[in-house]
Amino acid sequence: MFNPNPFLDKLQKELWLEYEGIAVQEEVYWQQMARSKNLNFGDRNTRYFHQRANGRRKRNKITAPKNEAEQWIDDVECLKSWGVSYFKALYSTDSNYSAFPLSGCFPRLLRGDYMDISKEISQKEIRAAIFDMGSWKARTVMAF
């Protein structure tokens, strides 16, 4: 009764390929959001990654700070005065400032070292650095 339509068959194949590509992009997005490296690329468990990212966001959210007496500050005016006094004390001249503890601990660079640092970086070195990155690190696509 109905004959197969080659145009629709081709369109269906193209749409499936596009869908699979989008599914892979979504998986990678949530994996990067969750900072997870322990699942294989073939898993399409985006719900897991979504829950990991949301859990991390909740843990990292600051709702209210504590003052020196370990009491939560939730009143806006108290929060403003606490913030101002904190930064005034931080940047005042009578604060307990000490010099950087590691000054003088590092060896000085020789003239030849300065020359090595300031030389041009070759395309080969850039390519090697990019392709030596881990598989889930951010990359820039470059044509070589």
Q: Given this model, what pLDDT does residue 41 score?
A: 47
Residue 98 to residue 117: CA distance in whole angstroms: 31
CA-wise closest residue to 57 among 25, 30, 34, 29: 34
Identify the bridge partners of residue 72 per DSSP, sorted by sequence position.
66
Please report where in the chains the tokens 């994996």 appear, as a residue. Answer: 31
Tell me the two tokens of residue 128: 């090697």
What are the domain boundaries of the chain? 1-63
| Top-confidence range, 88-92, 125-129, 136-140 | 125-129
Average pLDDT in the chain: 77
User: pLDDT by residue (tens digit) across 84-117?
Assistant: 888 888 777 765 666 666 667 777 878 888 888 8
